Structure 1
Amino acid sequence: MESTIRNQLITFHSDTLHAVKTVFKLESPGRMDEAVDLLQEWILKQTHFIKKIYPRIYLESILISSKGSVEIAKRRIEKMCTMRTFSPQLFDKTDAKNDLMELHDIIKTINLPKLTEDHYRITLIKITAKPLPLQYSNLDFFKFIIILAEYIKLHDYCQGFTIILDHRDANVMDFVTRTNLYELQNVISLLTEGYGIRMKGLHIISSSKVVDTLVIIFKQVFSAKLATRIHVHKTIETLFEFVPKSLLPEDLGGDERSISTLYDEWLQELSTEDHINYMNMMRGACTNEKLRLIDHLDENLGLSGTFRALAFD
């Protein structure tokens, strides 16, 4: 964690590591090591897992996102490995800067450097293109999010995430009409049930009337519990009631570096040789379904359920 603390892209409070462990009852001496050992031993016994050894900090991060539960952590790893096998198209990009060049002028996704007082990380998604290019697909955006999620599991340490979706300069209908519900549900399931992204709140900034349709879409793919955490802000001022203004980029009236500056820094970080090599290695963390002892395929993929049809005029 020492190298992470020195990283200007993700900083921590002096008590973050201890405070987060305490929340999930992992602060006792040896408790985290014991949980990591149990998790690693379980992985070694899974005949259908192709990758057997993970960095300890990666397993520790999964345990934190699982509220300290080894059993939940097992399900998260199972979910991620199975998804890499059955949805390989989500993981086929490893260099955020050069593999996804067309995305950079359309959507900028960043994690802000400073944590909130209660140790939550703020993720900001800024849509900059209006209108969207004809060739745009949400799939590239999802691939970028996965590259970022892999980085988070290895380097970040927080209770969870507050997500800001800044649609002020975008055409909301553009995104609504191009949203594939099946694809979106698949990715949300991967992020929440696999990577264990714990969402404290989703804040959408937009004065468009179409934003209500966007909220309907999100409510279809989020759990009932997470759906209650969606907030719409017609202006930036009401966002400050939930997110400290000082932590936000200067574009949103805060004290932090601009969105463009932070995004460029993130692109450099996510495109280092070390991270690209790590992403390529993690692509191999999948399954050999012929060796799976018990068939829980639908459960692991999280693909069950139905969607209500939406008509967009």
Structure 2
Amino acid sequence: MMVMPRLTKEGYRIIINTQLDPDPSSYVFATHAKMVLMELEIMMGEDYSLGDVYVIDLANATMGHLLRTDINCLRNSELLSRTAYCRRIKGVHFVNSPKTIDAVVKLVKSATSEKLHTRIHTHLPGSTTLFEHVAREYIPEELGGTAGPLEKFSYQLFNKAYDMRHWFLEQDNYISDETKRPPDSKLAQDIYGAAGSFKKLSVD
């Protein structure tokens, strides 16, 4: 995961996810979601963008990765990004989309707000349609852009998070006291509807 240093002309920040491990057994979605939230924490303190555009490389993605994706974790991440961190997701672009892309899109749409659905785009391997939405100058060379090689950006976010390691560990000490929550609270159902289920997800 990397946060590109240059803002687009619209003032948007480009966030890249790429080089997924081809082995699904090493894919832990909760760990990825944790890194996303750490990235949002860092950006809340130092970023000045008007919105976020996610570019997600699915070159190595398989159905095994999809099945290991936690839908509740995905819902929580999108909800927190939009409401707690006040980030505006202006676009989600899946590049190098595999044959399973329809299932991926259905999963993402089932876990995100309706407003975001129209901002989700898929781009086939070898296509240049991504650059109809995001200029090449904001995309790493390995994904067809001209911003420079991935290794130039890949460890910047990691290093920032590592520098804040003690602060992040301290934050894990602050949690809600669930014993004081009213027993008839239906907060999760109010937010998600059928919380924690795949009832509205239709994957062929």
CA distance in 2, matches of 1:173, 1:188: 22
Provide the residue aligned with 2:65 in structure 1: 175
Aligned equivalent of 2:52, options 146, 161, 173: 161
Q: Percent identity?
A: 26
Aligned equivalent of 2:114, options 210, 224, 228: 224
CA distance in 2, matches of 1:304, 1:149: 22
CA distance in 2, matches of 1:207, 1:187: 22
CA distance in 2, matches of 1:312, 1:300: 24
Provide the residue aligned with 1:142 in structure 2: 33
Matched, 1:117 2:9: yes
Aligned equivalent of 1:211, options 98, 101, 112: 101
Matched, 1:192 2:68: no
CA deviations 1:248-286 (Å, max 9, x no partner) are: 1121232323223311222222211xx123323433554
CA distance in 1, matches of 2:40, 2:68: 23
Q: Which amino acid aligns with 1:200?
A: K
Q: Give the CA RMSD over aligned residues.
A: 2.7
Report how far residue 295 of structure 1 moved.
Answer: 9.2
Report how far residue 222 of structure 1 moved.
Answer: 0.8
CA distance in 2, matches of 1:117, 1:312: 37
Provide the residue aligned with 1:280 in structure 2: 169
Bigger relative CO (Cα 8 Å, ≥ 6 apart): 1
Q: Given the two structures, how large is their TM-score scaled by the length of structure 2?
A: 0.84
Q: Which amino acid aligns with 2:73?
A: E
Q: Is the 8 A contact 1:298 1:304 kept in 2?
A: no
Q: Is the 8 A contact 2:71 2:107 kept in 1?
A: yes
**1:75-86 aligned within 5 A:** none
- Bigger Rg, which one: 1
Q: Is the 8 A contact 2:52 2:90 kept in 1?
A: yes
Aligned residues: 200
Q: Is the 8 A contact 1:164 1:204 kept in 2?
A: yes
